[in-house]
Amino acid sequence: MKKKSSFSTQGQRADIGDLIIYRMLPNRYADAVGPFVFLDHVAPAVQTKVNKEGTGAHPHRGIATLTYVLHGEDEHFDSAGNYAKVHSGGVQWMNAGNGIIHDETLNHDSVTDSRLVHAFQFWVNLPSTVKAEKPAYLAIEGNEVPYKDLPDRRGWIKVIAGSFEELSSAVPTYSEQFLYHIHLEPGVSFVIDFAGKLEVAAFLPVLPASINDEHFNAGDFIEFGREDGSLELRNDNTEGCDFLVFGGEPYTEPIVAEGPFVMNAELEIAHAYRDFYNGKYGKIDYEKQRAGK
């Protein structure tokens, strides 16, 4: 049985500097898909000048940030002393836990010297018990992301979070959740099954495509019904097409979000701001972290 779409929508512009960004989640129809409460799409663009400012140092609490870099080089700093660069195909994951300050800078890939920049950032809502833990961090280069070719040269699948068949991502998860990047060659289709307990969404970052015999436009964010069923992804274009498919178990605790914090009660939001303004999240030492000391 094929899942039916519940809605489709386009993102709202939320640019940072020269980066063209579309905010896909939350949107006017949904605040979350499984544990995912936020999705920014950094639209593909040829970079003409280096981005020196990044996103700027800012706090988080109660979530994990997950940045997936299709093209480019993402440099990460945080107040727990973590520093890394990942390149095209790589993933940065940071559990903000009970409070952290971080900064990211997205530029062209210095390894391949390609000027194309294209990325996604998700926020994953954490269970209340994990929100109280110390922050954690993980950097995964593109060649370490689980990957497999689909049968009959139809394309490939990358598992950014969760698991698919024998593939399992190193990104920690605290509930059943998944994030897949699926690439299909022209004129082919691929079917993937989901249990009814899972919330499921798809996003078409570059090209239009068909999902369960329904046509969607490039830039569409689509959520599907909660019944057991499958998604049949079909590429009707004359070139390869990419799909992001993600979701997971519904988040069953209360959700209170304000600014960079996602907690379970209004009082916890107040405490998050209080601790930030009292300096409890620490500071980023850019020079020391770049030097690897």
- Domain presence at residue 67: yes
What CATH number did the domain enclosing 85 receive?
2.60.120.10
**Sequential pLDDT tens for the chain (293 residues):** 999 999 999 999 999 888 899 999 999 999 999 999 999 999 999 988 887 767 789 999 999 999 999 999 999 999 999 999 999 999 999 999 999 999 999 999 988 878 999 999 999 999 999 999 999 999 999 999 999 999 999 999 999 999 999 999 999 999 999 999 999 999 999 999 998 889 999 999 999 999 999 999 999 999 999 889 999 999 999 999 999 999 999 999 999 999 999 999 999 999 999 999 999 999 998 888 888 75
Alpha carbons 268 and 282: distance in angstroms, whole number: 19
Alpha carbons 220 and 203: distance in angstroms, whole number: 6
Instruction: Look up residue 238 and give its DSSP letter.
Output: S
Alpha carbons 139 and 194: distance in angstroms, whole number: 28
- Domain presence at residue 293: no
- Domain presence at residue 25: yes
Position 293 scores a pLDDT of 53
Question: What is the identity of the amino acid at 50?
Answer: V
- Domain presence at residue 291: no
Domain count within the chain: 1
- Domain presence at residue 290: no
Question: What is the identity of the amino acid at 32?
Answer: A
- Domain presence at residue 114: yes
- 98 and 132 in contact (C-beta within 8 Å)? yes
Which string of DSSP letters, residue by residue, matches 143-165? Answer: GGS-EEEPGGG-EEEEEEESEET
| Residue-range definition of the domain harbouring residue 122 | 5-285
* Count of alpha carbons within 13 angstroms of residue 178, beta-carbon side: 26
- 131 and 174 in contact (C-beta within 8 Å)? no
Where are the alpha helices (H) located in 121-257, listed in sequence order? Answer: 128-131
Alpha carbons 99 and 80: distance in angstroms, whole number: 10
Instruction: Look up residue 127 and give its DSSP letter.
Output: P
- Domain presence at residue 292: no
Position 251 scores a pLDDT of 96
